[in-house]
Structure 1
Amino acid sequence: MALTIKRLRWVIAAAALLLTVVVAAYIGFGRYRAVKAYLDVIRKAGITVSHDTNGLTVSKSEQGRTIFTLHAQKGTQIGDGKWSLHGVNVILYSRDGQHNDVINGDDFTYDEHEGIVRAIGEVHMDLEAPDSLTSAGRSSLRPLAGAPPGSGHEPANVIHVRTSGVVYLRKLGIAATDQRVEFYYGGIEGTAQGAEYNTSLSTLRLLSNVTATGILRNRPFVLHAASADIDRSANVATLPHTVATSAGHTASADLTLLNLRSDGSIASAKATGHVRLTNATQTVEAAELDSTFTKSTVPIAARLSGGVQLVDTDPMRPAQGSSPAADLAFDARGLLSSVTTSGASQLVLTDKRTLPGGLLREVHADRIVARFSTAGKGSNAKSQLTDIQATGSAEIRGESLDTRAHPPASQGSGVPIKLTTLTADDLDLTLVNTVNGHAEPDKLFAHGHTLLRENAPTGEVETSTGDQLSAVFAQAETHGKQQLALASAIQTGHVLVQRLAPRRNGRTGSQSQPQEFGTATAESASYNSVTGKLTLIGNTHLTQDDATLTAATVILDQRNQDADAAGNVQTTFARAATGASSFPPADFTHVLSTTAHFTHKTQQAEFRGTDAQPARMWQQASQVQAATLILDDRNHTFSARPGSSAGLVHAVFADVSSETHGPSSAFHSEKSSMGRMRYVRVAAARMDYSDARREAVFTGPQGVLLEADAGTIRAQQATAYLTPAAKTPAAKPTGAPSSKESTPFNGSLDRVVITGDVRLEQPGRHGTGEELVYTAATGASVLTGTPVKPPVIVDTQHGNITGSSLLFADAGSTIVVLGNAPGTSPRRVHTETQIQQGKEERQ
């Protein structure tokens, strides 16, 4: 966008000023006034004529005021109605008597019958310039070095005109010359080949090859026109095929039309047909250019229309732009204050300063407004671009070096390039001017339906939408190269972030379909380029593949793909079912925590709480809760830890005892016709689960506590074994993440093995041993010991029961005493029964 304004800054200086000020102010006014005054005097020269020793004098007065005086050193009648005048001097007086114009010629002839006046030789005119030139407009003009002087001693406000071969036809009211016409004013030189003036129509024509040279606003200029037509009745000047140049700038048009005020200053100008403005490598073309001016010939406004085209062939920053129309406004000093384009405006630029192949920059909008401020003072004052506003389907696109990844060496340059696109209803960009004079983006504000999209070289696409967006830019070094980059950004209001990443083959690295999707919603999103982190705040909700997460705040680290969540964190993992007929259709694992951290490289998820408010993970009726829960997707493990030495890990395993029980219904929560829901609760200082071994091991310095159908059990260690997990209908491509398929406890509880100083408590009985095995499908338990210390169950009804192995279920169930455990020698079963005396007495 800075390029667009730079190309348009000089449009008015070249088109409006050069095409209008020079022609109208000098050629138009000066030539017209001189010729008209001279011819009017000659035409009326026979009204009052007197002779004396000094020659011939003609004068005219009205209401006591002298209008003009003509003096000829010699007037001789050379035939019937023919006169010869020599040494003619004409003085024209202004109405206020303050200004005089002087016309001089060596020889004239006058044919009274034919009404023809001829000037023999040169005619000189010294005319006082109008106020429009002697005030503010005059201050901007300086002589061109080496320019021919006028008379050499005329006052600074005098226009000097010189020509020859003037012929006046009184019957037609036309005066003409085919000779060269010259004028000088303050060092400004103008010429034309031939002139024609119609007194009845008050029109003046400069017939061909109109030229003016000098210095305008501290810059040399040259003006060319094929001809010039000036109509003083309509105050209009017309110049076909106009070309103006100044300090490397060139402006041209098929036709230039000037509307003049009565004082000769320019009111407005219109250039039509192939309007072309160039400066070095820059070119602007349009069908029409309209402009307005103050009485001091300072531009007020201008409009380029009829299809504005911009082309820049700068080898480092080539560009193309277009707009149906562009409106320009100026301050009191004539400096550009704003430019407004309307109707499907666009600019496409390739910046080759960073990479030889260049980085693309594009701007599209229905309306673009560029604002300028004034820098410098006096003649050094200039306009500087400060703000750009784009509205109506506004879009900015730009390529930049990606800071996150390097592409394969086969991509040629070895430098990754990402494409960033920003769209909104209204875009407002503020700029700062650097030491080298370039306007660089500083801050960006976007309003209404904002969309920010990044296309990474790896094929990833990240898109965020919201109501508003603000961004800050800064210079940054990326891959050893300096570039203007996004420093920070904040998007607010119904923020939606989406990520699309192509799947990759783990062996070949090639991309394939289908694609993975990730989405996030929040009240606001902020990005910091220094940290590379994207922060989502307020009712944040993330979804990726089979996982969802909600939290008050989520921070995504785009450098390593890690993530942190805080504030009422809720996470859900889903595992697909084995087939369309399976019920339930999928297993869901839920996690509640205060905070969560996800490490992309190691594929770990860590959920944190406190001992008082632990993190909790559950799948249907089974759950684990602890101060810290760690899910390792790479190694397929899951760990739980307390927050202090006094804290505990709590786990619940649920199962349905049924012959129809299968892997797909491991945690079926409804009672079946052949079984009922059974629960196993475990408390310990540590829990470590291995999906490969399908076991969860509970340990700790204070041992473990287990509650099940078997009763309350205390021991040194407990290991829960799960049945094999249900298989998904189809495997992912090699190298794809699998955390969504191997969620913890996604199989059925098979058995629990409790070891080390086992102590059993049931209503009406208690027991001890070294190992207890609980089978979930049957609800049965087997208690064993050692040859030295066999298992013992003390029952209030049956007394002490011991043996190599004791098989039982819940309280009140039958205890089966096995004489020997598998692999041991037979042993005698020992039973002790206590008789309750009170009962015998009643019998």
Structure 2
Amino acid sequence: MRFTIERLRTLVLITGGAVIAALIGFLVVGRWRSHLNVREIPKRLGIDVKQEQNDVVFTHARGGHTYYKLRASKAVQLAAGNRLLLQHVQIELFSMDGKTVDRIAGNEFEYDQKAGTAQAAGPVEITIERPGVAPAIAPRAAAGKAVGSLPLAGATNDAAAGQIAVKTSGLFFDQKSGIARTEQRVEFSTAQGNGSSVGALFDSDTGRLTLDHAVELNVQRGAEPVLLRAQHAELARADLVCSLRGAVAHYRQGEATAGAAVIHFRGDGTAEHLDASEGFGLTTAGGAHVRAPRGALDFDAKNRPQRGRLEGGVTMDSAGEGRTLHGAAPTADLVFTGDGELRHLHLERNVALHTEQATRTEGNQPELRVRRDWHSPVADVDFKSAGQGKVELAAVRGTGGVEIASETQRGDGPVRPSRMAADAVTGVFGESQQLVSVTGTGHAMLAQTTAAGAQQTTSGDRVEVQFGGAGAGKKAKSSGKASRGGDAGEIASAIVEGNVVLTQTAAAKAGEASNSLRATAGHAEYEGSGEWLHLTASPRVEDGGLELAADRLDVSQASGDAFAHGDVKATWLDPGGKKGAVGLGGPGPAHVIAKEAQLQRTTGEATFQGQARLWQDANSVAAPTIVLNRTRQTLVARGTVGEPVRVVLLGAGGSPAGKGLRPVSLPGSAKGNGPSVVRIRAGELKYSEGERKALLRGGDGGRVEADTGGATSTSNEAELVMLPAGNHAGTNGAAAQVDRLTARGHIVVTSMGRRGVGEQLVYTSDTGQYVLTGTAAEPPRLVDPAHGSVSGESLIFNSRDDSVSIEGQGQKTVTETTAPR
């Protein structure tokens, strides 16, 4: 909203100018009353009157100074009553220094000696010469004292450059009351302009001048014409106060109005204070409005405003360049520069600002519309110079708890609301008064709705928001298109500092409950072009049952996906005990470490990369890539040739005591039901919590290698079956335990010097038995260093007593061997 204080100053100055011009004319009447006592004329007809070709001259002098000289072509004593008729009258009134002469001319004056009244029978013309010293409106001015270059005094001197001419008719003067009045039209003209009123009254005793109605003044302020209209005007000379009613000032840059205004002048004629009531308003040429029921302004000695106050409900409205503004506050305080230019506006008690902006964007994209509502107990607005006496918004600061609600809409698309709140908020404006940035401090919060309908809230100690279109050049401005850095009005970037908390809730789908993501950090940066939020300084994220920490977190506002970089640590908890944590079948939390991680909210999938390792109770898996899917309750681990998948699982024979694993009883050592551990190397692992089953393949990592403590095997693939959830067959029963391992494809198994080959190996952890089978063409074979080799349909090895059973052709053979100790 552009406006200039010249509009306020113009209202004051031209109002003073109008009244001054009329006042000078009536002051002449006042001076006539003081120095030309009409009642003395009959007494002096035979003393001081000289008759020169029927001309009559009256001269009044005192102390060697001539006050006035009156000439009349004829002075006639009328027969009826004590009335004196003066014809073709010219009156000259001399200043104290004798350098200026004011003149009054009229065809006929009739004086009633008994009533003490004088009536001009026709038109009256009053001519005031340019004063060489202080103007007549400054009663404290001394003769010979120059006025100087004060604005209002300068306006008076300029008006008197040459002459001031006043014309009226029907002038009536009452000597007893000292009141001169007319109900006729009064016209006055100056070098500055001209004006008029209908009806006027001047009380020479009190010094009060009244312009009855239809007051009008046309003046030039430089090259700019100004028209002032007022319903009524009064000037109290003694009190130096001018009162106006229904004043309207029209000028090139707009309009100023006041239902009632009182202007207080200094002794030198400069305006000191203005009080406006019954409605005070300013309207710019661009359509901006400022209105208040009451207003006041203080001026310096050069008529430049210094301070001001608007009360009773201030409203501001403006429109232009695709933007509209409406503001409201109960009160407003104004502060001006030394040159009288508005620089600061202070608003109090529930300040409200509403803006709407429409922006055409590059390409074929639809128009972008932005609406904002500002609410705060207090707001301070700073202005900057825009040249040519105009000012523009520079910044606005709100305190005491500020809230800004915004809505953006592209074309007929969905409305995307956002909201910002803080204890204190500062907005900065750039070219064309476009909002460039907003900074909130103290309990700062930024809430947004994504294009997909997700709700995102970011809070911290400080929030700084940069808007698109900042720094737009003239080309972008003239075309009405947004500049680089994002569309004008949209958030281009944001920085949140200190105790950062991010919450993001995805839009709920039919039949599904919405889930929320929560992140914390010391620092956050939002990137509007890609709708990314970058979290640093010990960031953490919670998504359902997943808790994750890293050196840096990147969260996508559009999709809700999150990317973690550097020293990733994650814990997947059991979300309410409904599904169990995604891991390796255990009831406890699953922990993951990695270099990188990606969380996909739409699929519920978390991908960990770079020396990733997951452990849950006693079970663990390590691989270059580990993928956990919360929705499907699955785990996938992928290895490479140089870095295979490594799996460690607890067998059903027991669980390790204490926090670490107890050494496994190997064949040849003391036997018993101690814990067994299964160690596997593979190229790929796929585990389903619903099926309690894991499938391992060799893949790029080569063969699947399994170490069950009692034997080591290699195969093309292997399948692990976990005991059902909550099974307590083991010693402790708390950890997820392997029920069975089945290896397939080119099996090679070794145990304590024995070597077996076949096509399938089934290991049961509860019994410690290995069953090796082959095909009809190639049955399984076991080679023992001490007893040679054996073969059959199946070979059964019991790791607990080192016995081997051979089954085939309906026969069952048991071979006992003793391995070297």
Once the two structures are superposed, the pairs formed by residues 696-715 of structure 1 within 5 Å of their partners are 696-699=695-698, 703-711=703-711, 713-715=712-714
User: d(CA) in 2 for partners of 1:19 and 1:683?
Assistant: 91
Q: 2:676 aligns to what?
A: 678
User: Are the aligned partners of 1:19 and 1:256 in contact in 2 as well (CA < 8 Å)?
Assistant: no
Task: Tell me which residue corresponds to 2:648.
Answer: 652
Secondary structure of the residue aligned to 1:695 is strand
Q: CA deviation at 1:256?
A: 1.3
Q: Distance in 2 between matches of 1:835 and 1:749?
A: 29
Q: Tell me the CA shift for residue 310 of structure 1.
A: 4.0
Matched, 1:382 2:374: no
Mapped contact 2:403–2:421 kept (Cα < 8 A): yes
Cα offset, 1:261, TM superposition: 1.8
Distance 1:520 1:793 in 2: 59
- Find the partner of 1:820 among 802, 807, 812: 807
Contact 1:473 1:487 in 2 (8 A): yes
Aligned residues of 1:683 and 1:706 also touching (Cα < 8 A): yes
Residues 589-612 of structure 1 deviation map (CA, whole Å, 9 limit, x = unaligned): 221112113356776533122xxx
Once residues 642 and 226 of structure 1 are traced to their aligned partners in structure 2, the CA distance between those partners, rounded to angstroms, is: 93
In the TM superposition, what is the alpha-carbon distance from 1:198 to its structure 2 partner? 1.8
Q: Distance in 2 between matches of 1:513 and 1:60?
A: 107
- Of 464, 468, 478, the residue aligned with 1:474 is 468
For the pair 1:45 / 2:36, whether they are aligned, the reply is yes
- 2:282–2:291 contact (8 Å) kept in structure 1: yes
2:542 touches 2:548 (CA, 8 Å); kept in 1?
yes
Contact 1:221 1:245 in 2 (8 A): yes
Q: Which residue of structure 1 lines up, in the alignment, with residue 371 of structure 2?
A: 360
Task: Tell me which of 12, 16, 19 is aligned to 1:24.
Answer: 16
- Please name the residue that 1:182 is paired with: 187
| Conserved? CA contact 1:680–1:707, under 8 Å | yes
Residue 239 and residue 101 in structure 1: after superposition, are their counterparts in 2 closer, same or farther (change >3 A)? Answer: same
User: Is 2:805–2:813's contact at 8 Å kept on the other side of the alignment?
Assistant: no
1:276-315 per-position Cα deviation (integer Å, ceiling 9, x unaligned) = 4445765543210212234443333332210123456989
State how 1:238-249 maps to structure 2 within 5 Å: 238-247=243-252, 249=254
The residue number in structure 2 matching 1:118 is 119
**Counterpart contact for 1:141–1:217, Cα < 8 Å:** no
Q: Secondary structure in 1 aligned to 2:507?
A: strand
**Quick check: 2:153–2:269 contact (8 Å CA) kept in 1?**
no
Further displaced range: 302-311 or 620-629: 302-311
Q: Which amino acid aligns with 1:25?
A: G
Question: Structure 2 matches for 1:798-809, cutoff 5 A?
Answer: 802=790, 804=792, 805-809=794-798
Name the counterpart of 1:567.
566
Correspondence for 2:626: 629
- Return closer, same or farther for 1:800/1:488 CA change in 2, 3 Å cut-off: same
CA distance in 2, matches of 1:469, 1:548: 25
Conserved? CA contact 1:141–1:215, under 8 Å:
no
Q: CA deviation at 1:477?
A: 7.0
CA shift, 1:490, in A, is: 0.9
Equivalent residue number for residue 400 of structure 1: 408
CA contact (8 A) 2:125 2:165 kept: no
Q: Which residue does 2:211 correspond to in 1?
A: 206
Quote the residue 1:516 is aligned against.
515
Give the CA deviation at 1:808: 4.4
**Residues 804 and 816, structure 2, Cα contact 8 Å, conserved in 1:** no
Task: State how far apart, in whole Å, the 2-side matches of 1:679 and 1:833 are.
Answer: 24
Mapped to 1, the partners of 2:586 and 2:814 lie a distance apart of 50
Match for 2:617: what amino acid? Q
Provide, for residues 17-70 of structure 1, a one-character-per-residue CA deviation record: whole Å limited to 9, x for no partner.
Answer: 34422222331x2322331233232343248974344742423445x6x37332
Of 773, 777, 782, 2:766 maps to 777
Kept in 2: contact 1:656–1:669 (CA 8 A) = no
Q: Give the deviation of 1:717 after TM superposition.
A: 4.3
Pairing 1:313-712 to 2, within 5 Å after superposition: 320-351=326-357, 359-376=370-387, 380-401=388-409, 414-433=412-431, 438-456=432-450, 458-475=452-469, 483-505=488-510, 514-576=513-575, 587-599=588-600, 604-609=605-610, 614-631=611-628, 638-642=635-639, 645-657=641-653, 677-689=675-687, 694-699=693-698, 703-711=703-711
Sort the Cα spacing of 1:284 and 1:828 in 2 relative to 1 into closer, same or farther, 3 A. closer
- Aligned-partner Cα distance in 1 for 2:576–2:328: 57
TM-superposition CA deviations, 1:673-724 (whole Å, max 9, x none): x97643212234544446676223152666454333414x142445241237
- Identity of matched residues, %: 23
Residues 94 and 494 (structure 1), Cα distance of their counterparts in 2 relative to 1, 3 Å cut: farther
Structure 1 residue 88 displacement after superposition:
4.4
Q: Distance in 1 between matches of 2:532 and 2:735?
A: 34
Q: Distance in 1 between matches of 2:559 and 2:577?
A: 34
What amino acid does structure 2 have at the position aligned with 1:654? L
Task: Tell me, in whole angstroms, the C-alpha distance in 2 between the residues paired with 1:142 and 1:68.
Answer: 23
Q: What RMSD, in angstroms, separates the aligned Cα atoms of the two structures?
A: 4.2
Deviations 1:466-515 (A, max 9, x none): 1112222224879xx9653221111111111111233212xxxxxx6743
Equivalent runs, 1:678-757 vs 2, <5 Å? 678-689=676-687, 694-699=693-698, 703-711=703-711, 713-717=712-716, 719-723=718-722, 748-754=737-743, 756-757=746-747
Task: Tell me what 2:269 maps to.
Answer: 264
Q: CA deviation at 1:214?
A: 2.9
Per-residue deviation at 1:341? 2.0
Matched position secondary structure for 1:369: strand
Equivalent of 2:756 in 768, 776, 794: 768
Alignment partners' CA distance in 2, 1:142 and 1:545 = 81
Q: TM-score, normalised by structure 2?
A: 0.80
| Per-residue CA distance 1:123-151 (angstroms, 9 max, x = gap) | 313154748897545888999xxxxxxxx
Secondary structure of the 1:515 match is: coil
Shift of 1:319: 5.3
Give the match for residue 475 of structure 2: none
Q: 2:232 aligns with which of 227, 235, 239?
A: 227
Q: Deviations over 1:371-421 (max 9, x none)?
A: 222233xxx44222222222232222222237xxxxxxxxxx651320121
Residues 389-398 or 462-471, more deviating: 389-398
Distance 1:706 1:40 in 2: 125
Partner Cα distance (1:833, 1:590) in 2: 43
Classify 1:577/1:685 alpha carbon distance in 2 versus 1 (closer, same or farther; 3 Å). same
Change (3 A) 1:365 1:831: closer
Relative distance call for 1:108 and 1:332 in structure 2 (3 A) is farther
Q: Secondary structure at the match of 1:36?
A: helix
Q: Is the 8 A contact 1:629 1:639 kept in 2?
A: yes
Q: Give the counterpart of 1:298 among 300, 304, 312.
A: 304
Contact 2:370 2:489 in 1 (8 A): no
Q: Does the aligned pair in 1 maintain the 2:587–2:735 contact within 8 Å?
A: no
**Does structure 2 retain, via aligned residues, the 8 Å contact 1:685–1:702?**
yes
* Residue type of the alignment partner of 2:436: D
Offset of 1:234 from its aligned partner? 1.3
Instruction: Measure the CA separation in 2 of the matches of 1:133 and 1:34.
Output: 23
Q: Given that residues 634 and 687 in structure 2 are in contact (C-alpha distance below 8 angstroms), is that contact kept between their aligned partners in structure 1?
A: yes
The answer to whether structure 1 residue 172 and structure 2 residue 170 are counterparts is no
Q: Is the 8 A contact 2:639 2:682 kept in 1?
A: no
CA distance in 2, matches of 1:245, 1:170: 39
Kept in 1: contact 2:59–2:66 (CA 8 A): no
Say which is worse superposed, 632-641 or 485-494, in terms of deviation.
Answer: 632-641
Contact in 1 for aligned 2:36/2:68 (Cα 8 Å):
no
User: 2:576 & 2:204 partners in 1: Cα distance?
Assistant: 101
SS of the counterpart of 1:200? coil
2:574 and 2:580 in contact (8 A); partners too: no
Q: In the comparison of the two structures, how many residue pairs are matched?
A: 748
Q: Which amino acid aligns with 1:619?
A: Q
